[in-house]
Structure 1
Amino acid sequence: MSGVREMEQTLPYGEWPSPIDAGLAAAHDGQPESVDFVGDEAWWTEPRPLEGGRRTLVRRTADGTEESVLPPQWNVRSRVMEYGGHPWAGVMRPEGPLLVFVNFADQRLYVYEPATPGDGPRPLTPLSPVGGGLRWIDPQLHIERGEVWCVLEEFTGEGPSDVRRVAVAVPLDGSATQDRKAVRELTEARHRFVTGPRLSPDGRRAAWIAWDHPRMPWDGTELIVAEVSGDGTLREPRTVAGGPEESVPQAEWAADGSLLYACDRSGWWNLYRDGVPLCPREEEFAGPLWKVGMRWFAPLESGLIAVLHGRGASRLGILDPDRGEVVDAAGPWTEFAATLATHGSRIIAVGASPRTAHEVVELDARTGRARVIGAAHKDAVDPAYYPEPQIRTFTGPDGREIHAHLYPPHHPGRTAPDGERPPYVVWAHGGPTGRVPLVLDLEIAYFTSRGIGVVEVNYGGSTGYGREYRNRLRGQWGVVDVEDCAAVATALADEGTADPGRLAVRGGSAGGWTSAVSLTSTDVYACGTITYPVLDLKSFGSGETHDFESRYLDSLVGPYSEVPDRYAERSPVEHADRITAPFLLLQGLDDPICLPAQCERFLERLAGRRIPHAYLTFEGEGHGFRRAETMVRALEAELSLYAQVFGLNPPGIPTLELSE
């Protein structure tokens, strides 16, 4: 990496030379997840884009060394609800660590003792020939019981909704390896969705979260507490918080036996202790439960609570529950991911900023000192090429606020000719119940360092701004998200920030839906990139997706039985004839959430319309690209689309062939 700045030269926007190529962006994709302590050691999972996109388990030993615990054939990742969650657990014994983890290839739960690597991981659970098989998530090791408590997702037929989920205990002695009946069910399967049970400090009670169709977990969940009987089953379950319009995404026991949980009954996800609010604020102390085992808070032995909180961003702090005060960690990190763990006075989390990618951070609750202990950010290029983002609030229809992050073109040695306005790409995030964090992303830098601006829109329906903002999308998916993105794009053009004739829209998953609907219902954009999208509402809501989101449209669009016409009115597949702008369509062929069949139907209805487009598919990729070669191909194809439509000549980019 050179720190020497280039002599400033004038070149058109989009044609600036950049050291951030697609390979570099792909190699730095993803972030650490699922942090926890194993004894005194911090452990976490990390992505390996250059190793087939697997996730490995990393430990930080006492001398500060980081090492991968498992060789390349192991991929620590669960498919429960297709989005997975916390896939491992570990304890430290005198002879070394003992860990259990879910392996992605076969979804079995394995046990492994790294101190005796010759033995290798051993399976604890059987395979199933039925449907999607047996899957496991959110393991908790109970060595004294000789068991792993976790959630089992068990397919009962070939359909994506032929499934049941229940809390179970898996024996550590391997007796369930070939025998499903040896897996002990802890409760009756009363609910469609459950999280893993958490034992109280005295071992007499357990708490977990449950919900049922058609609710999504950010709409309404139930916090359930049960007594642990002598035979190890959970008896007399009772709901202590939550409801149809009250979301509880996390619950934990404090050291004194009180029950802590996050709940949005006030309109914001705040923390409660045995039903009493601890720090009532118009801020979020939790988020949407997309993955089982996400953690926004973690109690400390002292009675203090490590928390992630904020409005439109998530900071790391320590809450004194008796005083209702939060002290934030000092440091450069402005955003933290939903994973936390505590041990003694130590807290580990995953933080990032606009100048640093996600890294593992440790905070000492006694001293207030925070430091990086893993996955430390290293500048792959001169940071002068990084974008310089702005937090913006725009005005949308009816005067509503729209939150966004603006990334203007930025290069240390290039400027554009006087009077030229830059092209901009509007990024619509997935979910749609989610948000984009303001952190360093080399995929964004790939464009901004070449002279193409990016604006990420946290449209109505996004999280981080309270339940009222989140509920704007109820019944309005394909309307509010599309209007908000268009309002931001138009505002940038009107204020002179962006070239109105060189605007694009892009997104993946729900963002792919927003991009596709934008191209079929507005004339704001000159082109678009649509990645593993929802394109056909009727098929998405009638068995052509996985179980978790199979009733999501009830809230986003409305129940099909009540508003069938709305499903057709909004689906891009029904309006392919309205597209007039070139587009790029990207799809993983192993995607169980947004099936390739939707893309194929969309293209069939476009046939003969002579709209320039490209359709790229990727073997072995699911919902979200993980392999470096896939990400390189997709990123270069996207830039080539913009180059051809906007009349740019970026150096060194393969030309994407557009069909008509």
Structure 2
Amino acid sequence: MQTLPYGSWPSPVDAALAAAHDGRPEYVGLVGAEVWWTAPRPAEGGRRTLVRRHADGREESVLPAPWNVRSRVVEYGGRPWTGLLHDGTPLVVFVNFADQRLHLWRPGEEPRPLTPVSPVGGGLRWADPQPRPERGEVWCVLEEFTGESPTDVRRVPAAVPLDGSAAEDRSAVRELTEDRHRFVTGARLSPDGRRAVWLGWDHPRMPWDGTELLLAEVAADGTLGTPRTVAGGPEESVCQAEWAPDGALLHASDRSGWWNLYRDGEPLCPREEEFGGPLWTIGQQWFAPLDNGLIAVVHGRGSTALGLLDPETGEIVDAAGPWTEFGATLAVRGDRVVAVGSSPRSAAEVVELDASARPGAPGGGSVGRARVIGAAHADPVDPAYYPEPQIRTFTGPDGRDIHAHIYPPHHPDCVAPGGEAPPYVVWAHGGPTGRAPLVLDLEIAYFTSRGIGVAEVDYGGSTGYGREYRNRLREQWGVVDVEDCAAVALALAEEGTADRARLAIRGGSAGGWTTAASLTTTGVYACGTVLYPVLDLASWGEGATHDFESRYLETLVGPRAEVPGRYAERSPVEHADRITAPFLLLQGLDDVICPPAQCELFLSRLRGRPVPHAYLAFEGEGHGFRRADTMVRALEAELSLYAQVFRLDRPDVPVLALAPGPLTPTTDPHDTGAVT
């Protein structure tokens, strides 16, 4: 055991290792008896491939580079593929990221397009495909741009012919209903084929504020009749709807204050926990009905479990296993449930749950039996270097609870000198309507194994704790999130867990906003790392960002026409003169959600001020970094910032040059030096 100062411990968890394990399996599905899913490939330009698990357990990436299975609907995307067996052969429909066209693929053949390219604005985009082989179609969400502005767009449920007749002919795409709502999810057809349901909502609401569950009769020609609203509203969020095999309508609504399940409008299992979540992407699944009457559910308060709900008794039996977090992706067939689970000791894995017995029935103990069938976690380093999280609740202003995950410095062979408190970095998650999952994250291990603590804060506004907790951020963005992060940081310092003089904050997207706002309005932090942030509310909104979030600020900040001064008051760009702490700014040059202009304006306001900072921008990166070389560069630059500010000995990373004044970003991926 070595005695070394915090922050100077050696570690086998390097930036390349963290980058290689970034991302997780998503969008599981069953093609016949085979399990398929999408998976990240950071070393291949950040693309996502489609993985097939053969009957013998062999995993195969079926679409080689440059195919990239990823949708851009609402920019955050959605379910990008579907598949079925046709004459015993897999037939797969997927969205290719580069052109956003739907493609049809069979093993042994090249993918062929099913939809045309549109020259207008962002073109035609597709998400949440559902096969309708009886009609020779695939039903999807269609996003169609009608002009050059990001908000010149319409969305409707649509049907695309599988014969390729729409590949060059937009008129061959059959719209299922009128575009009566700004946003929609994919339509779900009842077992008898006579009814369909989908979700719709409109500006300025976000889907976690309020959505409508729409039901329509299906006409003989396959179009949908006039829909009627059967649940939801301006203050009720329905996040998913499905049909049970017996024709009952299931949906998840937060009308009680929590996303709970309902069957034909009646609650199934009332609990103060979530059976749903925020619809950032189209096609998420928190529950799935099985043929035997049970319902597979992803549920919990904070972290999530995978369970089987018996709608007759309201009893839930959870899957036995080490997993503490399950994603909103499920696939079911017969007695099989497929999901994606992870834990603080394992990355995301594809998990299969046996649902052959009912909870409480003789032999019902087998219900909880689960096993890993794909993307099995393999420790890239000795797990003794993994962080050991603590789930804690802190007290914030006005006595409110603040939920957080605390990751103390952890190393199997190093301790710090007696009496030394470690540096800590507060992580502010994105969204801001999101939360920090309780999973193994090698970026966190990158810091904790070197002797730097991490505190993930689920500040007010986060999901997983009910609607009241989520609504704390209404018109309080830049206030509640900043206060809650500061309260956790200061509490850690006051109890001796963290060094008060060595506190930092970092975050991306909305977390980048919280980080920048914290650096300009509080004196809590010695430095910060700001990734692809919102910095200027005046220029971020309708016409300056994508359509999905173009009216988001009306709930986060307030109606612009009523409180215009608040937009300037909260914006970090308006208070650049107050910042004194060193910071690192990281940005993707292809980001259409938080464009580089935000960073450039912020830096221009710093001109002539002696604030140490660096700006790194990356070509080919959008909102959230996906390429391995980018992630390595960003992580090493962040560690170098902390090493310089906290006076840590870190010869294992290139020195980030911190310079006063505005900086010109490098876009050369081979440049390992800092921007000056």
TM-score where L is the length of structure 1? 0.98
Render the CA deviation track for 1:122-145: whole Å, top value 9, x for unaligned: 000000111000000000011110
Query: Matches of residues 91-490 of structure 1 in structure 2 within 5 Å?
Result: 91-114=84-107, 117=108, 119-366=109-356, 367-368=366-367, 369-490=369-490
Instruction: Tell me the equivalent position of 1:4.
Output: none
Shift of 1:72: 1.3
Aligned partner of residue 605 in structure 2, secondary structure:
helix
User: CA separation in 1, counterparts of 2:518 and 2:543?
Assistant: 25
User: CA separation in 1, counterparts of 2:75 and 2:624?
Assistant: 11
User: CA separation in 2, counterparts of 1:362 and 1:431?
Assistant: 30
Does the CA-based 8 Å contact 1:359-1:374 persist in structure 2?
yes
Aligned partner of residue 617 in structure 1, secondary structure:
strand
Aligned partner of residue 234 in structure 1, secondary structure:
coil
Shift of 1:588: 0.2
Shift of 1:544: 1.1
Instruction: Tell me the equivalent position of 1:35.
Output: 28
Shift of 1:463: 0.4
Shift of 1:236: 2.2
User: CA separation in 1, counterparts of 2:42 and 2:58?
Assistant: 22
Does the CA-based 8 Å contact 2:428-2:514 persist in structure 1?
yes
Residue identity opposite 1:637 in structure 2: A
Tell which deviates more after alignment, 607-616 or 644-653.
644-653
Shift of 1:589: 0.2
Render the CA deviation track for 1:489-524: whole Å, top value 9, x for unaligned: 000000000000000000000000000000000000
Residue identity opposite 1:561 in structure 2: A
Residue identity opposite 1:614 in structure 2: A
Instruction: Tell me the equivalent position of 2:37.
Output: 44
Aligned partner of residue 650 in structure 1, secondary structure:
coil
Tell which deviates more after alignment, 648-657 or 451-460.
648-657
User: CA separation in 1, counterparts of 2:53 and 2:31?
Assistant: 10
User: CA separation in 2, counterparts of 1:501 and 1:607?
Assistant: 27
Shift of 1:543: 1.7
Render the CA deviation track for 1:291-350: whole Å, top value 9, x for unaligned: 000000000001100001111111000000010111101001011011111000000000
Residue identity opposite 2:421 in structure 1: R
Aligned partner of residue 472 in structure 2, secondary structure:
helix
Does the CA-based 8 Å contact 1:450-1:650 persist in structure 2?
no
- Percent identical: 78
Query: Matches of residues 529-548 of structure 1 in structure 2 within 5 Å?
Result: 529-548=529-548
Instruction: Tell me the equivalent position of 2:510.
Output: 510
User: CA separation in 2, counterparts of 1:177 and 1:331?
Assistant: 46
Does the CA-based 8 Å contact 1:108-1:135 persist in structure 2?
yes
Aligned partner of residue 196 in structure 2, secondary structure:
strand
Shift of 1:416: 0.6
Render the CA deviation track for 1:547-585: whole Å, top value 9, x for unaligned: 000000000000100100000000001110000000000
Instruction: Tell me the equivalent position of 1:3.
Output: none
User: CA separation in 2, counterparts of 1:323 and 1:140?
Assistant: 31
Instruction: Tell me the equivalent position of 1:568.
Output: 568
Residue identity opposite 2:469 in structure 1: Y
User: CA separation in 1, counterparts of 2:105 and 2:134?
Assistant: 18
Shift of 1:651: 3.2
Does the CA-based 8 Å contact 2:409-2:452 persist in structure 1?
yes
Aligned partner of residue 37 in structure 2, secondary structure:
strand
Aligned residues: 650
Aligned partner of residue 282 in structure 2, secondary structure:
coil
Query: Matches of residues 10-25 of structure 1 in structure 2 within 5 Å?
Result: 10-25=3-18
Runs of 4+ deviating beyond 3 Å: none
Residue identity opposite 2:449 in structure 1: S
Residue identity opposite 1:259 in structure 2: L
User: CA separation in 1, counterparts of 2:340 and 2:164?
Assistant: 34
Render the CA deviation track for 1:580-606: whole Å, top value 9, x for unaligned: 000000000000100000100000001
Shift of 1:652: 1.0
Does the CA-based 8 Å contact 2:151-2:542 persist in structure 1?
no
User: CA separation in 1, counterparts of 2:544 and 2:585?
Assistant: 19
User: CA separation in 2, counterparts of 1:314 and 1:651?
Assistant: 40
User: CA separation in 2, counterparts of 1:445 and 1:108?
Assistant: 38
Shift of 1:27: 0.1
Does the CA-based 8 Å contact 2:459-2:481 persist in structure 1?
yes
User: CA separation in 1, counterparts of 2:472 and 2:648?
Assistant: 38
Aligned partner of residue 348 in structure 1, secondary structure:
strand
Shift of 1:659: 1.1
Aligned partner of residue 64 in structure 1, secondary structure:
coil
Residue identity opposite 2:123 in structure 1: G
Render the CA deviation track for 1:146-181: whole Å, top value 9, x for unaligned: 001001100000000000001110011111111101
Residue identity opposite 1:270 in structure 2: N
Aligned partner of residue 486 in structure 1, secondary structure:
helix
Q: Which residue, out of 73, 77, 87, partners 2:70?
A: 77
User: CA separation in 2, counterparts of 1:544 and 1:499?
Assistant: 40
Does the CA-based 8 Å contact 1:247-1:264 persist in structure 2?
yes
Does the CA-based 8 Å contact 2:237-2:253 persist in structure 1?
yes
Does the CA-based 8 Å contact 1:58-1:66 persist in structure 2?
yes
Instruction: Tell me the equivalent position of 1:590.
Output: 590
User: CA separation in 1, counterparts of 2:555 and 2:644?
Assistant: 39
Shift of 1:93: 2.3
User: CA separation in 2, counterparts of 1:373 and 1:544?
Assistant: 44
User: CA separation in 2, counterparts of 1:375 and 1:614?
Assistant: 37
Does the CA-based 8 Å contact 2:115-2:168 persist in structure 1?
yes
Structure 1 spans left out of the alignment, 5+ residues: 1-7
Shift of 1:193: 0.2
Residue identity opposite 2:406 in structure 1: L
User: CA separation in 2, counterparts of 1:543 and 1:122?
Assistant: 34
Aligned partner of residue 439 in structure 1, secondary structure:
coil
User: CA separation in 2, counterparts of 1:302 and 1:225?
Assistant: 25
Instruction: Tell me the equivalent position of 1:522.
Output: 522
Residue identity opposite 1:68 in structure 2: S
Does the CA-based 8 Å contact 1:15-1:651 persist in structure 2?
no
User: CA separation in 2, counterparts of 1:489 and 1:399?
Assistant: 16
Shift of 1:542: 3.5
Instruction: Tell me the equivalent position of 2:603.
Output: 603
Instruction: Tell me the equivalent position of 1:56.
Output: 49
User: CA separation in 2, counterparts of 1:441 and 1:410?
Assistant: 14
TM-score where L is the length of structure 2? 0.96
User: CA separation in 1, counterparts of 2:452 and 2:18?
Assistant: 16
User: CA separation in 2, counterparts of 1:188 and 1:112?
Assistant: 30
Residue identity opposite 2:162 in structure 1: L
Aligned partner of residue 567 in structure 2, secondary structure:
helix
Residue identity opposite 2:277 in structure 1: G
Residue identity opposite 1:464 in structure 2: G
User: CA separation in 2, counterparts of 1:532 and 1:125?
Assistant: 32
Aligned partner of residue 445 in structure 1, secondary structure:
helix
User: CA separation in 2, counterparts of 1:170 and 1:190?
Assistant: 20
Instruction: Tell me the equivalent position of 2:363.
Output: none
User: CA separation in 2, counterparts of 1:265 and 1:586?
Assistant: 39
Residue identity opposite 2:243 in structure 1: W
